[in-house]
Each structure stands twice: as structure tokens, then as C-alpha cells.
Copies of this chain bind each other. A is one copy, B any other.
């Protein structure tokens, strides 16, 4: 199955936008992410729909953050993307006539529901600021490593 990687992509884009204070073009973001400008516009457009980012056309236009990093959770982003299906495995038939299959579905659905609830809960607890902090840590470690090698 092909995985939906849009959440990953938008996080990548949003952090780059946070690093640089100025608006970034779809072209620029597409290069960062390794995709196509149109894909960026399509995906970022969903975030704009819920007020997380702004876009401007023409010279010096592009995409910029509309909110504070601390105020956005991964869960909000997941929702902004239309809450795509979380699981790549699932029931064969959602409304089966067969009682055996109904039983299988009922038991599996319960397990899936719990796992999904946990995932969304974790997503709800992670903000863009957390990711930014994680990046800073790694950036520091990276610089330190370079210094050590250079000396």
C-alpha cells in the first residue's frame, strides 16, 4: 500500500517556514521537501483553509505561518488534511451479512479503535514548538560534531 506522507511533508514545510521568518514560495518549499510546487500548494491550501498558514501572490509572495508554533498540534494538522485513514490493514467488508465476519470485524475494530485513539492522543500532545525544539537539539549536536572533526 502506498502511504500518505502529507503530514510528514507539511511538518517539514512548516518548520522550514518557522526557521526563516519570511514567506517561502511553493517552488522553494517543493525543493526542500523534494516534491512538486503544485503538490505543495495543494497540501498547504488545506492548512490555509483552517487558518494555520497564509499565502500571498506576486513578488515577495509565498507561504507564511499564521499562528504560534506552540498553538498547533500534529492532531490539528491531521484534521486539516482531512483525517486520512490511519491504518493500512482493516476489514475486508465493512457491513457483512455473515455472522462470522461480523464477529471478526467487531473484535478487530475494537483493537484498531484503541490504537487509533492512542495515536491521535499522542498527536494531540505534540506541538510544532516541540518539533522545533527537537530540531534545535539536533542542530546543536550537528554543529558540535563538525567542530570536533575540524579541530
Residues of chain A having any CB pair with chain B under 8 Å: 1-9, 11-12, 15-16, 19, 32-34, 74, 84-93, 98-108, 110-112, 114-116, 118-119, 122-123, 126, 130-131, 134-135, 138-139, 142
Contact = CB atoms under 8 A, between A and B. Distances in A.
Given A87-B3, A102-B138, A134-B107, A92 B122 contact: no
Given A114-B122, A115-B119, A122-B111, A104 B3 contact: no
Given A8-B108, A107-B130, A131-B103, A88 B3 contact: yes
A95 to B, nearest CB: 12
A130 B130 CA distance: 41
Contacts of A88: 1, 3-4, 84-88
Nearest to A112: B119
Contact of A92 (B33, B116, B118, B135): B33
A89 to B, nearest CB: 5
A127 B4 CA distance: 31
Contact of A4 (B1, B98, B115, B139): B1
A2 B5 contact: no
A71 to B, nearest CB: 17
A12 B105 CA distance: 9
A114 B86 CA distance: 14
Nearest to A135: B103
